[in-house]
Structure 1
């Protein structure tokens, strides 16, 4: 049986990440299991669009596209899905590089026809060369990376993480695309959870669907100095609470917080205990990590409460893209 063709979508929005974007595309082109194509979707930045178009004009397997929807990551991804030809569509952050076997491990996960999505492990690459001593591994999601508490090996999950994920094309046929109004939107507050909302919606549309995490599918994600500061940590945690409130509005609180309950009742208390123990043993950063976990939980909880109150006051709805089927499928 022939392996499915894979399209890779990389969404970009700023020339500040020029070298990162080139490195991301190069890592896709170097895969041991080649991609059918790489789609670079530029989010409402004409200068970047023209520069990337010139960079890849002689590279057949790389296509540069303008985001055809409203500003933001969700619409950019939907643009890439609609323009792609692969049976599997993978997503890679524009400031990350994939290991050589990244796509091979993704494709292996689709042997079972019930598998609708496969995600991987995202490893932080700290700009300073090392993790800040106060930064708890339990909160690596703040910088878009895999965090302590995720399952290891290959395991079924509620949702994959969007910067390192893949979906069957038929998943979008069943559930529609990424909802706009949830997730990143240019330089605004660092919201997220658009992939969580999509995965929950997919599981409802296809109750037999299996979503996998395979931690062998590794990418390395650059973390700039700005994102290693406590101010960003707090802001991102608060924004995550707001995002979870939006997801709860869309798909219901029970599903929106299903995974988070275990995380907040087991993983985080264990992290606080480790931090306090390290502090008692005189190990660097122990008290800071314990304090950061408590502060992060408080910020996320505050964001969630504010988001729920706003949702009750306003009639909030999130458009879900219907992905056109005309271009999809094999070439």
Structure 2
């Protein structure tokens, strides 16, 4: 955990922050211990910030800060970078500054539906080698056609190259944006460091109890891999939102480094990580929503998951440990392994390791109110996350190995069954608690079945990519100090 104290002198002139006057940030009040803004604990990875009297004087009682000078500009940037505050921009570019690029192949119906939804905005449709040439009608619509299929990355790049506006929005032909989605996302670009902003992607059939729907459709509508959840976030590798899908996103053209045309899968993850590496920021805003026409057949859903899994090997080659299935400290790794051993010795060892971790953390928290309780809570959460991370890897990344070991070891077989059940039910509960604005799309046991099938498909694709690329990077866990 990183501990930082912010004072006005941290950045004397605030010249490197660049937030405009009038820009506001909102401290996540869940980070304030007992509502005390002097001590802020949160972010991803977890850190603690101590706000001095000067900083508190710039902050309202409900945690709002408005940029008006160098000091507020510096404080706001620090809180944003820590993930302890969220942006509340007051203005931004207009839809007239945007060109929408639609890469498409063999989906005339989707193109027509999408053009009707974005009428009045500049659009470039890139026909990526459709068997029957597509048509695109409209005064502000331009059509580019490839004679042969070159992939979605190449189609998006061609559309972006033909655009003349400062911002480019990418929308797949199987989505339909809700009204004002552009206005909501464009406001984020008033921060000059933001290169990309993305909406929440929900199911086009947003109400799971209307009409007869298959289990696959209800699972996709509620827990699609395209849906990054109900919580706004800064997008960065290793955080709760490590990337955003290219099915719907807006980019600042001067920051756009192009999709990697050698990739047919995971090109959106690669783009987000390259932007982050070069110092740009990416924002995920679930208030803006785009509906996606999900697959309704379980075979199609699992086939797509397997295809997504093949991209892990490419990401490991290009981004190294950022594509690792597990990342944890050595001490937490020992504690998690000890707990999974399900032995008395393992339980004692885990207790000792976690106790030492909590003690060391307590010493770093200094004068934080209720520091012992905070240290115990944070250590417990870290252990819980470590267990979930390990359980998810067993069921998803390492399931071929887990199955082989389960065949020869009764103890390991019992562990795998328990882990598979517990992890699925816990994730269902977490998803329900995270999004209380809607009813669960599917019950816990149906979710458990779908999730395990989802993991089997993704893991099969992952191993397929690893074997094809002859690179174990996507399977190699990372242990940090």
Instruction: Describe the shift of the 1:293–1:64 C-alpha distance in structure 2 as closer, same or farther (beyond 3 A).
Output: same
Shift of 1:139: 4.2
**Preserved contact between residue 326 and residue 390 of structure 2 (Cα < 8 Å):** no
- 1:201 deviates by 1.6
Whichever of the two has the greater Rg, that structure is 2
Query: 1:9 touches 1:40 (CA, 8 Å); kept in 2?
Result: yes
> Given the alignment, which residue of 295, 299, 303 partners 1:231?
299
1:200 matched to 2:273? The reply is: yes
Match of 2:322 among 241, 249, 255: 255
- Residue matched to 1:38: 123
1:265 aligns with 2:428: no
Once the two structures are TM-superposed, the CA of residue 293 in structure 1 deviates from its matched residue by 1.0
**Does the 8 A contact of 1:245 with 1:307 survive in 2?**
yes
2:310 match: 242
In the alignment, structure 1 segments of 5+ residues that lack a partner are: 184-191, 277-282, 314-331
Aligned to 2:150: 71
**Cα–Cα, structure 1 residues 200 and 7, in superposed 2: closer, same or farther, change >3 Å?**
same
Shift, 1:214, TM fit: 0.7
Structure-1 residue corresponding to 2:78: none
Residue pair 1:241, 1:302 contacting (<8 A) in 2 also = yes
In structure 1, C-alpha distance between the alignment counterparts of 2:289 and 2:269, rounded to whole Å: 20
Match of 2:197 among 94, 114, 118: 118
The alpha-carbon distance between structure 1 residues 304 and 110, as it changes in their structure 2 partners (threshold 3 A), is: same
* 3-state SS of paired residue (2:244): coil
Residues 1:125 and 1:62: Cα distance change in structure 2 (over 3 Å): same
Cα gap change, 1:260/1:171 in structure 2, threshold over 3 Å: closer, same or farther? farther
Q: Distance in 2 between matches of 1:198 and 1:251?
A: 11
CA-based RMSD: 3.3
Name the residue aligned to 2:258. Answer: 177
Q: Which residue matches 2:410? A: none
Residue 291 to residue 250, structure 1, CA distance change in 2 (3 Å):
same
Cross-structure match for 1:221: 292
Match of 1:22 among 112, 124, 145: 112
Pair 1:84–1:274, CA change in 2 (3 A):
closer
Distance in 2, matches of 1:258 and 1:86, equals 39
In structure 2, the CA distance between the partners of 1:288 and 1:139, relative to structure 1 (3 Å rule), is same
Distance 1:231 1:29, change over 3 A: same
Across the two proteins, how many residue pairs are aligned to each other?
A: 272
| d(CA) in 1 for partners of 2:326, 2:126 | 31
Is 1:291 the counterpart of 2:418? The answer is no
Partner SS for 1:181? coil
Cα 1:42–1:105 shift into 2, 3 Å: same
SS in 2 for 1:29: coil
Structure 1 residue 271, shift from structure 2 partner: 4.0
- Looking at structure 1, the residues matched to 318 and 301 of structure 2 have their Cα atoms a distance apart, in angstroms, of 26
Instruction: Determine whether 1:132 maps to 2:214.
Output: yes
Aligned to 1:316: none
Measured in 2, the distance between the counterparts of 1:288 and 1:2 equals 43
Report the Cα offset of residue 273 of structure 1: 3.9
User: What is the TM-score when the length of structure 2 is the normalising length?
Assistant: 0.51
Q: Secondary structure at the match of 2:185?
A: helix
Structure 1 contact 120–164 (Cα < 8 Å) conserved = yes
**2-side partners of 1:248 and 1:214: how far apart?**
27
Q: 2: distance between equivalents of 1:158 and 1:275?
A: 20
Partner Cα distance (2:466, 2:118) in 1: 40
CA contact (8 A) 2:176 2:204 kept: no
